[in-house]
């Protein structure tokens, strides 16, 4: 069983030596190590994989003792992450994640799917994944989110994934899950935030369209970016052609973002990310 160590702290001389020395002194073996220094912010980031080690707390305590006081240290066993998916009507992202979940290639376990329409219930049932319908119609946002939170309270999960959940969550809802909600946006952010980005792209006559997976914050479509991808388009592409092409990269971008998160390869600082692929 692999052990993952994540370190973020103020940069200083000899940090790599201190980390590797501490690990060696405990009799643990470093299988891999990636590090990065943001020289503009003076921040140090490192991700290590260790061979099996029985007492994780010893590793964490030891690192905190040798690293700067502001150090964030996480030591964890590499286990599948538990996720809840929120959906509306579009199936392409959900379908891909259900298949990856079924064949255990995603590094995650889908606890349930919650939709504000019933359209995707049958699809989930084919993969034996629980589906719950919570309609938003003729309800205030407060009532809808209260019902959503009540359903979520019955599950233990690491992350919420907005797999084409076409509803804007309130700041109060987002605040309950800081850096725990991932969204796939059908645009190469920061271009074309909000609704109908393919229409916006068409009207602007762009030559590239894309998709962005990002953490959800209070600011619409402005959370820290995890992954992005783009493809070329030209004057022959109408809105429908852009949508069709865009769905393919939405699937790819969301799947990649979740793989990186499930493998603990991402750090957040400020409104940016460090990603060790």
Q: Which of the residues are catalytic? A: 221
Residue 160 near residue 182, CB atoms below 8 Å: yes
Torsions phi, psi for 220 (to 5 deg): -60, 120
Number of Cβ atoms within 10 Å of the Cβ of 221: 18
Residue 140 near residue 125, CB atoms below 8 Å: no
Q: Is 119 helix (H, G, I), strand (E, B) or coil?
A: coil
DSSP line for 230-270: EEE--TT--HHHHHHHHHHHHHHHHHHHHHHHHTT-EEEET
- What whole-number distance in Å separates Cα of residue 162 and Cα of residue 142? 18
Pairing of strands 108-115, 43-50: unpaired
């Amino acid at each position: 069983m692999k052990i993952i160590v994540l370190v973020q702290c103020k940069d200083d001389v000899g940090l790599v030596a201190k980390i590797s020395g501490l690990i060696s002194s405990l009799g643990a073996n470093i299988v891999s190590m990636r590090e990065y220094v943001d020289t503009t912010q003076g921040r140090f980031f490192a991700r290590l994989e260790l061979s099996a080690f029985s007492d994780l707390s010893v590793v964490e305590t030891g690192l905190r003792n040798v690293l700067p006081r502001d150090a964030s240290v996480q030591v964890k066993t590499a286990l599948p992450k538990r996720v809840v998916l929120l959906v509306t009507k579009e199936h392409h992202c959900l379908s891909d994640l259900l298949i990856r979940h079924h064949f255990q290639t995603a590094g995650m376990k889908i606890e349930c799917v919650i939709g504000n329409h019933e359209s995707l219930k049958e699809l989930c049932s084919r993969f034996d994944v629980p589906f719950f319908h919570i309609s938003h119609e003729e309800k205030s946002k407060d009532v809808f989110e209260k019902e959503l939170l009540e359903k979520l309270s019955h599950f233990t999960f690491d992350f919420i994934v907005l797999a084409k959940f076409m509803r804007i969550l309130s700041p109060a809802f987002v605040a309950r899950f800081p850096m725990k909600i991932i969204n796939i946006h059908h645009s190469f952010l920061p271009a074309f935030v909000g609704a109908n980005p393919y229409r916006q792209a068409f009207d602007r006559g762009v030559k590239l369209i894309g998709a962005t997976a990002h953490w959800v914050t209070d600011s619409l479509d402005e959370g820290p970016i995890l992954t992005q991808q783009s493809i070329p388009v030209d004057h022959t592409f109408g809105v429908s052609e852009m949508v069709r092409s865009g769905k393919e990269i939405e699937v790819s971008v969301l799947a990649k973002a979740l793989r990186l998160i499930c493998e603990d390869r991402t750090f957040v600082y400020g409104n940016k990310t460090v990603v060790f692929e």
